[in-house]
Amino acid sequence: MRTFGLACLLALVLPIAGCGNFTFQGALNNNSQTMSGVVSVVQVTFVNDNNVEIQVTIVTLLNNFISTTRTFCGDQQIQFPFNDFAQATFVPGQPCSNLLTVFIRIN
């Protein structure tokens, strides 16, 4: 009976713990930066880097009426659903930044 009670308690608590935001803690590259906001623009295009065409994704996030735009290496459009709140961690670079993680808050 004690095992059944514990199983019932876990069945009630675990789904509740899964709701809301997801938190990740760990060590990332010391040069990493973070930007967050509502995804307002995502555009895949190409840039020229020393006569080599490189595919990039230009992303604009809007947070408290302030927009932040970053160019990420490769096609990253699937990582940034339009109108969702995103937090992106990346390593800045030229001509594009390397995307490390993206967390999406589901409304």
Tokens found for residue 15 = 């789904």
Question: Each residue of 4-50: pLDDT tens digit?
Answer: 444 444 444 444 444 444 444 445 556 999 999 999 999 999 999 99
Q: What is the DSSP string of 13-61?
A: HHHHHTSS---------TT-EEEEEEEEEEEEEEEEETTEEEEEEEEEE
CATH architecture of 24-105: Beta Barrel (2.40)
Paired strand residues for 44: 57
User: Are the C-beta atoms of residues 37 and 85 closer than 8 Å to each other?
Assistant: yes
Give CA angle at 34 (32, 35), nearest 5°: 150
- What's the DSSP call for residue 94? S
Note whether 87 and 103 are within 8 A (CB): yes
Tally Cβ neighbours within 10 Å of residue 86: 20
User: Residues of the chain with pLDDT > 90: what percent?
Assistant: 68
Q: What is the DSSP letter of 18?
A: T
Whether the pLDDT of residue 65 is over 50: the answer is yes
pLDDT score at 107: 66
Q: Is the dihedral of CA 34, 86, 62, 65 positive or negative?
A: negative
pLDDT at 80 over 70: yes
